[in-house]
Amino acid sequence: MKRIHLPCFPARHDLHAMVHVPSPGSGAERARATRSLWRAVPWLLLGAWLAILPTQNASAMPEFARRYSLSCVACHSAFPRLNKFGEIFAKNNMRLPNWMETSAQLNDDRLALPDHVPLAIRAQAYLQGRQGQAIDPISGARQSAATDFQSPYLLKLLSSAPLSKNITYYFYAIMGEKGGNGEVLVEDAWFRHADIFGSGIGMMLGQFSLSDSMFPREIRLPFQDYMVYRMAGVTYDRGVLFDRDIGRFGIDLGFTNGNGITDNFKINGTGYSRPDRMFDSDSSKTTFAHIGTDIGPVAVGVFGAAGKQRGAAGPAGMDKSQRNTDKRVVGLDASGDIGANTHWYTQYLWNDWDGFLDADPTRNYRWSGGFAGVDWIPDDRWAFSALYNRASAGDLAHTNTIFEGIDINSLSLTASYYFMRNVKGIIELNVDFQNRTRPTGPYFTGHLSSENYILFGFDTAF
């Protein structure tokens, strides 16, 4: 069954920047860092305990709830996780049958304008105690902090509205993310037509995440991400997506630029001061598809993608190559419910990157990874989640590049307390099981120290 989402949690990542390489340090340095981290834990737990005490709450409801005079609980089992009605709402082009009645009454049945500016805000703030370190793969210079005030972690402006019988638009702009103040980035931004030429085929045109056909990252309950999606490069891109239900099967078929959502190029040719830009650096495109269905109580799916990506060049593979290399991804996914309050999901991806490293362009590199999670929502105040991430660098291991950092083996345990439907406090503990390694060449790459963390904070949408 195709999963269509109501996006809430964006994130943007570049593969080269994403692969975290912690510092090796000496044994004494690691011991001091560990002691500093665990000395901070009691204070973090105290702050977390204070955070979940009853407090005065402000009344705030997201845009869809305002438009249709519904509580958030109509679509969310625990914000931002969708319930069955929320999935149907999203699949119905994010509208209810009375959508026209919520538009401004202008005595023109050929004009559907929202009766107010359709805007919503999302904000997140956290405090984290961590062992992970930032390290320069070339020099080995490192930075670390046992405690980290991540506030604001995310500020986002969202907007969506139905514009005609079949057309809806959606976008969000990130006004600040992960300390990147002073910048604005648009991630999800698309128009969707629900029924092209009366064929029953839906079409989405714009920016979206390829992985949304499987498990949308924006509606996950844990703070920790579905790491393999970022590593495999199946997140945000520009393109077109077609979808249709045929019998018991939901089918997605899409085509994207394959070079993300930030690059563009001036059109200059032989002219001067051309007014336009290209959003793609070459004619190659990424083709992807997902087919999903239900087998008894279990939803299962198959995903495939093929296209081009820039290879890796320079010291430790940190630079983008001038070569386009072939890339293929195959995935399997499954999900289901245990009773009324427990939901499970799992995903695995196999990746082929042909000739990816400039250091050995004749070699093909294969690696794989996935995740498994469970959400337990016992009542309208609490939600508990467990998320296990596992990936192996495969042929990219021992290449003395940052792509050795694909290796991951971690478990994240999350508790969310809902002050209101749209305001929650989060406590999350991440345990890193990955064995530490030593540099195998001239660069500081690999999993050189543990990356355990404990986090608490707030997440709200209004």
**Band of residue 374 on the pLDDT scale cut at 50, 70, 90:** very high
pLDDT of residue 267: 80
Beta strands in 210-285 (DSSP E): 236-246, 249-256, 265-266, 277-278
Mean pLDDT, residues 204-233 taken together: 96
pLDDT at 159 exceeding the cut of 50: yes
**Band of residue 160 on the pLDDT scale cut at 50, 70, 90:** very high
Amino acid 415 reads A
**Band of residue 142 on the pLDDT scale cut at 50, 70, 90:** confident
| pLDDT tens digits, one per residue of 93-140 | 889 899 888 888 899 989 999 888 999 999 999 999 988 888 899 998
Please give the mean pLDDT across all residues of the chain. Answer: 86
**Band of residue 312 on the pLDDT scale cut at 50, 70, 90:** very high
Range with the poorest average pLDDT among 75-79, 80-84, 173-177, 187-191:
173-177
Q: Token pair for residue 161?
A: 């509205």
Residue 407 lies in a domain: yes
pLDDT at 333 exceeding the cut of 90: yes
Mean pLDDT, residues 165-172 taken together: 94
Question: Three-class SS of residue 294?
Answer: strand
Cβ atoms within 10 Å of 337's Cβ, excluding its own: 14
pLDDT at 61 exceeding the cut of 60: no
Stated length of the chain = 462
Mean pLDDT, residues 392-396 taken together: 97
Residue in the block written with tokens 């593969």: 15
pTM for the full predicted model: 0.84
Residue 6 lies in a domain: no
pLDDT of residue 46: 39
Question: Three-class SS of residue 431?
Answer: strand
Residues 136, 237, 233, CA angle at the centre, nearest 5°?
45
Instruction: Give first-to-last CA distance, the chain, whole Å.
Output: 30
Share of the chain above pLDDT 90, in %: 60
Number of domains in the chain: 1
pLDDT at 42 exceeding the cut of 50: no
pLDDT of residue 259: 81
Distance CA 429, CA 427 (A): 7
178-181: long-range contacts, CB 8 A cutoff, minimum separation 24: 178/150, 178/153, 178/154, 179/150
Residue 10 lies in a domain: no
Range with the poorest average pLDDT among 24-38, 167-181, 302-316:
24-38
Residue 395 lies in a domain: yes
pLDDT at 322 exceeding the cut of 50: yes
Q: Of residues 44 and 145, which shows the higher confidence score?
A: 145
Residue 419 lies in a domain: yes
Residue 387 lies in a domain: yes
pLDDT of residue 332: 98
pLDDT of residue 261: 86
**Band of residue 175 on the pLDDT scale cut at 50, 70, 90:** confident
Question: Three-class SS of residue 395?
Answer: helix
pLDDT of residue 18: 38
Do 345 and 373 meet the contact criterion of CB atoms below 8 Å apart? yes
pLDDT at 52 exceeding the cut of 80: no
| pLDDT tens digits, one per residue of 399-453 | 999 999 999 999 999 999 999 999 999 999 999 999 988 888 899 998 988 899 9
Question: Three-class SS of residue 31?
Answer: helix
Cα separation values, 384 from 48, 287, 428, Å: 15, 36, 10
pLDDT at 58 exceeding the cut of 90: no
pLDDT at 17 exceeding the cut of 60: no
pLDDT of residue 313: 96
Domain of 37, CATH number, reads 2.40.160.10
pLDDT of residue 301: 98
Cβ atoms within 10 Å of 328's Cβ, excluding its own: 14
pLDDT of residue 19: 40
Determine the structural domain holding residue 457 and report its residue range.
15-265+276-461
Residue 145 lies in a domain: yes
Residue 93 C-alpha from the chain's centroid: 21
- Does the CA dihedral 52-53-55-61 come out positive or negative? positive
| pLDDT tens digits, one per residue of 236-291 | 999 999 999 999 999 999 999 988 888 788 887 777 777 788 888 777 889 999 99
Distance CA 74, CA 415 (A): 22
What number of CA atoms fall less than 13 Å from residue 387's CA on the CB side? 23
pLDDT at 343 exceeding the cut of 80: yes
Contacts of 420 (CB under 8 A, 6+ apart): 57, 58, 59, 60
Q: Of residues 31 and 397, which shows the higher confidence score?
A: 397
Q: Of residues 67 and 315, which shows the higher confidence score?
A: 315
Residue 94 lies in a domain: yes
